[in-house]
Amino acid sequence: MKAAVFHAPGTITCDTVDDPVIQDANDIILRVTSTAICGSDLHMYSGGIPQARPMVMGHEFMGIVEEREGKTSMMLQKAMKSSIKKKTDV
């Protein structure tokens, strides 16, 4: 998959990274439909927060649950039901 990867202050590239995999019963795989960068990303970009290795940027996102394993938390179940209801109401 493609991701915006921070390499050094002022250097972000669109790289191919490994696809995510389920590792724990609480994990989900989310197809991201919208994302944004956050203030902490900007601090790294400017060099204010040093990073030891390349890092995928953007932790402010939303999307569609593509895969899950095991029991899903009650909060996620309610969010998924709410999303499905809103989608069918349109």
How do the domains of the chain map onto residue ranges?
A: 2-89
7 is written with which tokens? 């390499």
pTM of the predicted structure, to 2 decimals: 0.65
Distance of CA 85 to the CA centre of its chain: 23
The 10s digit of each residue's pLDDT in 20-54 is: 898 887 788 888 888 887 888 888 899 998 888 99
Residue 82 DSSP code: H
Q: Is 58 left (phi over 0), alpha (psi -120 to 50) or beta?
A: left
The 10s digit of each residue's pLDDT in 58-86 is: 778 888 888 887 666 666 666 666 665 55
More confident residue, 74 or 5: 5
Q: Which CATH number is 2-89's, of 2.20.70.10, 3.90.180.10, 3.30.420.140, 3.40.50.2000?
A: 3.90.180.10
How would you class 6 by CB atoms within 10 Å of its CB: exposed for 0-12, middle for 13-18, buried for 19 or more? buried
